[in-house]
Structure 1
Amino acid sequence: MSAQQETAALSKAAKPTLVKPAYRPVARYQAALERCVAKLKTTMPVIGLRNPKIGLADNSWKYCSDIDWVIGFQSGQLWLALQLTGDPVFLNAARARRPAFRKILNNRLARDHDLGFQFSLSCVADYMMTADREARDMGIKAAEALASRFQDEGGYIQAWHPKSHPEPEHASFVAGRVIVDCMQNLALLHWAYAETAVKDFQEIALIHAETNAKHLIRADDTSFHTFIFDAASGKPVRGETHQGYKDDSCWSRGQAWMIHGYAQCALTTGRQEDLTIAKRLAAKAEQLMGNDKVPIWDYNVTDPAISHRDSSAGAIMAAGAYLIADQCEGDEAARWAAWGDRLLDGLLETCDLTEDPNALGLLAHGASHVGRGLSDAMLPYGDYYFMEALMRAVGHRHFFW
């Protein structure tokens, strides 16, 4: 697609599909944000130093192992709460988790493409909030480990290790594989470049984003979950899914990772091409949602028996919509903020657990991995992005990405 065709397609796709409200319900979002902070504080004696992985039927948590990819999201919420309140109880709870992140740095097989999720919301957050040098050093080491996963042949960061799994066929599955989630992890590399001026960090992040745009985004602005390259030559092979419905479908959380990821890259680097990609992906997601306020877990699913909603996708997209709005002006900024509001309203109307005294998390109806039967549950990443989206909705602009 030529630059002129891209511009024309974006102009067509980005036409508002909802009426801009005469006012934005900022007070509603502020009240919800305060409930999130209160929930975090009241659940501390139950959660302790553990890190939530997925909600159980009674809205308690199943907790992470030492090296789980979601280990950073509880930490991220605590650092956001500290930013909002200045209450040292949040500082202490967040920093007490540092040994868990040190374990990751000390275990070669624990360090994969999810280092951004893990360390941006822990050590980088700590350094940004407190200027702690040990936290900074840990963040830099994590960025170095993430950069070491870069494959020059093909221009991508390989997602997973071929030898860190008990099943022999895993090695062939992961070889040459990139996944959409990694767009969110690039922020760690951009931060490391800003801290050190080591160009490798920036170059790897930019090349990976360009590779994603070329191979993970389809011509119709939907996205593959994963893409495979020949591990030796780097030649592109095919797009697939891992958590979506099927290879040619559009997994909603994957699309959301890309929206937020490209919008964040644009904010960090000033690259308008990244912002354009974020807008295209966001406009497509909005179109696919139709009149829904909470996205289905995969936009191609039509079977009512598996038509689960994914509140985590909605929360990530809401935060991404506000990120886009912050980089626009006038009616366009209002258009994207209105879409963020619509997504937040959907979460507040159908998924909000902040007023449920028995729930340890913030949002219901998250779809972790429907193919494995993991749906309709609290998810810590949904909770983190819910807080981030609420903060962006009421005007906060300082985050850890």
Structure 2
Amino acid sequence: MTSLSRRTLFAGTAAAALAAPGPASAAPAPASYRQALDYAVAKLRAVAPTVTSFPQGTKFEKWTFDAGGGWVGGFWPGLLWMAYLDSGEDKFRALAQESALRLAPRRTDTGDHDLGFLFSPSWVTAWRLTGDSSWRDGAVTAADSLIKRYNPAGRFIRAWGKLGTDDRAGRVIVDTMMNLDLLCFASQATGDRKYVDIAVAHAQTTAAHLVRPDGSTCHVFDFDPATGAPIGQNTVQGYSPTSCWSRGQSWAIYGYTRMHHRTGRAEFLSTAREVADWALDHLDADGVPVWDYRSPLAPNDIKDSSAGAITACGLLDLARATGIARYRTTALRILDALCRTCLTTRSTRAEAVLARGTRNRPSEDGVEISLPYGDYYLMEGLLRVLRPDQVAKALDL
């Protein structure tokens, strides 16, 4: 893997952007979007000054916390950055930076594949909005930690288990598609291809084994860690190994669209369209995904509003990349459904914005609660519609 200039590295992306269709025509944003975003910012204005740790989910409508951040720690500073983008209030900027700094010890954590979730919404966004190189350098350090989990025999990033152990050493999960953007950022920041090369390899392996021929996804796929030979699909958070966990499908939609944006590779746009088309064909009539699209109780089973918010963001990205109006229209339909049926506006106790999230249905862990990533992607989606130039700056769209 050799060093190269940023211009050379991302020339393919620029060329693809020039060749791609323009964004799909945009319908006027309903007033409910503005009301929902105002509600989210007001909620954060009231709650954030009292938060000194990392929200993980709600219990009886109040945030519960993990001092180390768990896998979701980056979404709290990310939420504060989203509030700053909309309001311009320096208080949100200060709180976002204070919160992000508490993640500093995780930069060298080689025991977690979720460093993209931790550092992209927090440190990478901080770099883009402040220009302070310490944020950029810290994010690159996190990327260095993440690539230590790369298995060259199987061409995948190991999901779980401590390095040097046999604990789930060959396990890959669809969620990791969302951690690849950190690697693409590191190659952009350093000019070194090694990060993006690993991201591309992992995305190709995921497309070959976790994305099924019909466009649905499995949550987990196991490989022989020594040889890289495929073993088979599995699940931890889905209904079954052959079902389709809706949040996993949303990670694939967003992740492959973003990988196309970062690399210009047509194969990733094709995969993004396949998984998006399958999700659109299976989205419930009410616009909010059921927790697993293939649950035997669907469409009348428990919902996952966070899957809806993530899907909406991915579809808005995909509409930009393809010019296909259906993707944007469905994204707006999902956002409208979330704003109408999933906000916490009727509660005087609620500390979060988006209700009806489901963390892990099979283990009965966090069913019908609020989740920090649900709030984050709802705000990101609303900003993509209402303040596209501002959010583009933060996300490098």
Whether TM exceeds 0.5 here: the answer is: yes
Q: Which moved more, 1:199-208 or 1:82-91?
A: 82-91
Alpha-carbon separation, structure 2, partners of 1:201 and 1:93: 30
Answer yes or no: is the 8 Å Cα contact 1:64–1:70 preserved in 2.
no
Show CA shifts across 1:329-355 (max 9, x none). 3xx2x2211100111111112101256
Q: Where does residue 130 of structure 1 map in the other structure?
A: 130
Corresponding residue number in structure 2 for 1:49 = 52
CA distance in 2 between partners of 1:30 and 1:341 (Å): 13
**2:321 aligned residue:** 327
Find the partner of 1:90 among 79, 83, 92.
92
- For residues 306 and 82 of structure 1, the distance between their equivalents in structure 2, rounded to whole angstroms, comes to 37
Give the letter for the 1:68 counterpart. G
- TM-score of the two chains, using structure 1 as the length reference: 0.87
- Quick one: which amino acid aligns to residue 39 of structure 1? K
Report deviation, 1:21. Answer: 11
Distance 1:191 1:255 in 2: 23
1:163-178 aligned within 5 A = 174-178=168-172
Q: Structure 1 pair 129/67, CA: closer, same or farther in 2 (3 Å)? A: same
Q: Which stretch has the larger CA shift, 346-355 or 62-71?
A: 346-355
Which residue, out of 58, 61, 64, partners 1:62? 64
CA distance in 2, matches of 1:292, 1:285: 14
Q: How has the CA–CA distance of structure 1 residues 320 and 177 changed in structure 2, closer, same or farther, with 3 Å as cutoff?
A: same
Give 3-state SS (helix, strand or coil) of 1:54's partner. Answer: strand
Indicate conservation of the 8 Å contact 1:36/1:354, yes or no. Answer: no
Pair 1:236-2:230 in alignment: yes
In 2, are the aligned partners of 1:193 and 1:202 still within 8 Å (CA)? yes
**Runs of at least 5 residues in structure 2 that lack an aligned partner in the other structure:** 1-23
Q: Taking structure 1 as reference, are residues 195 and 251 closer, same or farther at Cα in structure 2, changes over 3 Å only? A: same
- Secondary structure (helix, strand or coil) at the match of 2:136 reads helix
State which of 324, 330, 333 in structure 2 corresponds to 1:339. 330
Residue in 2 aligned with 1:33?
37
Alpha-carbon distance between aligned partners in 2 of 1:286 and 1:65, rounded to the nearest angstrom: 37
Query: What amino acid is the match of 1:53?
Result: Q
Quote the residue 1:204 is aligned against: 198
Would the aligned equivalents of 1:262 and 1:277 in 2 still touch at CA under 8 Å? yes
Partners of 1:387 and 1:123 in 2: how far apart? 18
Q: CA separation of 1:25/1:105 partners in 2, compared to 1, >3 Å: closer, same or farther?
A: closer
Distance 1:99 1:291 in 2: 42
Rate the CA distance shift 1:138–1:288 in 2: closer, same or farther, 3 A.
same
Of the candidates 383, 388, 392, which is equivalent to residue 380 of structure 2?
Answer: 388
Amino acid at match of 2:52: L
Shift of 1:98: 3.6
What secondary structure sits across from 1:52 in the alignment? Answer: strand
Superposed CA deviations along residues 240-267 of structure 1, whole A, max 9, x for unmatched, are: 1110001110000000000000111112
Do structure 1's residue 292 and structure 2's residue 296 form an aligned pair? Answer: no
Deviation at 1:399, TM superposition (A): 3.4
Q: 2:218 — aligned with what?
A: 224
Within a 5 Å distance, the mapping from 1:83-162 to structure 2 comes to 83-109=85-111, 112-162=112-162
1:300 Cα deviation from its structure 2 partner: 1.3
5+ residue gaps in structure 1? 1-19, 165-170
Query: How many Å separate the matches in 1 of 2:322 and 2:345?
Result: 32
Rounded to whole Å, the distance in 2 between the matches of 1:244 and 1:391 is 30
Residue 82 of structure 1: how far off its partner (Å): 1.6
Q: Which of 254, 267, 272 in structure 2 is aligned with 1:273?
A: 267
- Contact 1:189/1:205 (8 A) holds in 2: yes
Give the partner amino acid of 2:357.
G
1:343-378 Cα offsets, whole Å, 9 max, x none, are: 111111210125644211111010100112121000
Measured after TM superposition, the shift of residue 303 of structure 1 is: 3.3
CA distance in 1, matches of 2:133, 2:26: 47
Aligned residue type for 2:393:
H
Cα distance change, pair 134–355 in 1 and its aligned pair in 2 (3 A): farther
Amino acid at match of 1:337: R
Aligned to 1:399: 394
Q: Secondary structure at the match of 2:395?
A: coil
1:17-28 → structure 2 map (5 Å cutoff): 23-28=27-32
Aligned to 2:9: none
Once residues 399 and 271 of structure 1 are traced to their aligned partners in structure 2, the CA distance between those partners, rounded to angstroms, is 23
AA aligned opposite 2:128: M
| Pairwise CA RMSD | 2.1
Residue of structure 2 in register with 1:360 after alignment: 351
Question: Tell me, what secondary structure is at the counterpart of 2:375?
Answer: helix
Secondary structure in 1 matching 2:102: helix
